[in-house]
Amino acid sequence: MSASASEQTVLVTGGAGYIGSHMVRQLLTGGFNVAVFDSLSRGNRDAIPETVELIEGDLTQAEDIDAAFKGRNFDAVMHFAALAYVGESVEQPDLYYRNNVMGSLNLVDAMRKHGVNKLVFSSTCATYGTPESLPITESTPQAPINPYGQSKLMVEHVLKDYAVAYGLRSIALRYFNASGSASDGSLGERHDPETHLIPLILWEALRVKNGGDPKGTNLRVFGSDLPTPDGTCVRDYIHVEDLCSAHIKAFERMCKTPEAGAEQFNLGVNQGFSVLEVINTCSEVTGIDIQYDLVGRRAGDPAELVADASAAMQKLQWTPNYPNVRAAIEHAWQWYLEHPPESV
């Protein structure tokens, strides 16, 4: 079966969230039909184009997701709906196991019941915990160090077992650090609360640009004594548009090889940037000398997470358009200049 986009309908769970909403745009641009399933508990209604059907529902309620499949024909599901704050997951693991694990279980059971057999699942490099060696390949042992990573790993196990028992075809994509905004300025990154590095650096730049005292910085660098070249954490930042294009490649792969099976791929750009390098790049892009305070490490933060994404590049025939963090920063800065957050 070929993956002619115009004949394909994809259900996007979490399509009102950060990555999900970019995915919806990219699917529409690619000619797919799209429906969104979202509780709107954390996402933004206005991130979904008006032409796209929004099925409002809660994945933890089996009847909600079951109802979404009734009377509709989906060729595949892209499953983004999940909670994704490491710190929150440590404090409230019940939320993470219920939403991420039980919610996914309800989804795959509804898919089984309604004969939908292809799933792309948002997994994470947090499933690796503190890796024994770098860069991280798909065969690096998975040993999560927080409930968020644990919840995603549990779903990966579910998908493997469902492939064997029920014939489910799935691809789990293990994201490294999703970042950036749409390159055409149509969509940005909005989290509430915002905890991510690049938005917080750019908010600080915006504060100074608006006349704020540079010395009264709100930006904190978590940890400066880590075993990395400059002592700050190193991450592999992948542009949100590149993440989304990998999902379309994953869908195409499942169409070409529809036999039951569960595969997993890392999505990153094979390059690490330290927190200080990211801040410096933000200073260059914004033209503002961004100040920061060095504070203690954040609980649950591994020192270094860098992907070996060569399997995705080869098997999905995926090539990231943005090989380093600069473009993500440029696009995010453009977005914040045009859509300044209320708190800045």
* Among the residue ranges 111-119, 147-155, 190-198, 307-315, the one whose residues contact ligand UDP (CB under 6 A): 190-198
Residues composing the chain: 344
For the question of residue 148 being annotated catalytic, the response is yes
Spatial neighbors of 132 by CB under 8 A, at least 6 apart, are 140, 141
Q: Which is nearer to ligand UDP, 262 or 306 (CB)?
A: 306
Residue 196 binds ligand UDP (CB under 6 A): yes
Beta strand extents in 164-233 (DSSP E only): 169-175, 177-179, 220-222
| Per-residue mark of binding to ligand UDP, 3-42 (x: CB under 6 A) | ----------------------------------------
Spatial neighbors of 140 by CB under 8 A, at least 6 apart, are 128, 131, 132, 133
d(CA 83, CA 146): 13
Give every strand in the sheet of 9-13, ordered side by side.
53-56, 33-38, 9-13, 76-79, 118-124, 169-175, 261-267
Question: Running DSSP on this structure, what letter comes out for residue 123?
Answer: E
Selected from 222, 280, 334, 340, the binder of ligand UDP by CB under 6 A is: 222
* Among the residue ranges 154-162, 184-192, 193-201, 250-258, the one whose residues contact ligand UDP (CB under 6 A): 193-201
Q: Which is nearer to ligand UDP, 12 or 221 (CB)?
A: 221
| Per-residue mark of binding to ligand UDP, 79-98 (x: CB under 6 A) | -------x------------
Q: Which is nearer to ligand UDP, 87 or 323 (CB)?
A: 87
Residue 114 binds ligand UDP (CB under 6 A): no
Tell me if 183 sits within 8 A of 331, measured CB to CB: yes
DSSP assignments along 83-114, one per residue: ---HHHHHH-HHHHIIIIIIHHHHHHHHHHHT
Nearest approach, Cβ of 215 to ligand UDP (angstroms)?
18
Residue 233 binds ligand UDP (CB under 6 A): yes
Chain position carrying tokens 């997951």? 89
Q: Which is nearer to ligand UDP, 204 or 308 (CB)?
A: 204
State the DSSP H helix or E strand holding residue 274, giving kind and residue range, or none if neither.
strand 273-274
Selected from 8, 13, 177, 281, the binder of ligand UDP by CB under 6 A is: 177
Residue 220 binds ligand UDP (CB under 6 A): yes
Q: Which of 18, 85, 128, 148 is catalytic?
A: 148
Residue 195 binds ligand UDP (CB under 6 A): yes
Selected from 88, 109, 252, 301, the binder of ligand UDP by CB under 6 A is: 301
Nearest approach, Cβ of 75 to ligand UDP (angstroms)?
31
Residue 221 binds ligand UDP (CB under 6 A): yes
Q: In sequence order, what are the beta bridge partners of 118?
A: 169
Tell me if 342 sits within 8 A of 193, measured CB to CB: no
Selected from 16, 111, 238, 275, the binder of ligand UDP by CB under 6 A is: 275
Q: How many positions of this chain bind ligand UDP (CB under 6 A)?
A: 14
Residue 202 binds ligand UDP (CB under 6 A): no
Q: Which is nearer to ligand UDP, 37 or 322 (CB)?
A: 322
Nearest partner of 251 among 27, 17, 18, judged by Cα:
27
Task: Give 34's Cβ-side CA count (13 Å radius).
Answer: 29
Count CB-CB contacts under 10 A for residue 4.
10
Nearest approach, Cβ of 139 to ligand UDP (angstroms)?
22
Nearest partner of 122 among 175, 48, 181, 182, judged by Cα:
175
Q: In sequence order, what are the beta bridge partners of 84?
A: none
Residues classed as catalytic = 148
Judged by the rule CB under 6 A, the positions of this chain that interact with ligand UDP are 86, 177, 195-197, 200, 220-222, 233, 235, 275, 298, 301
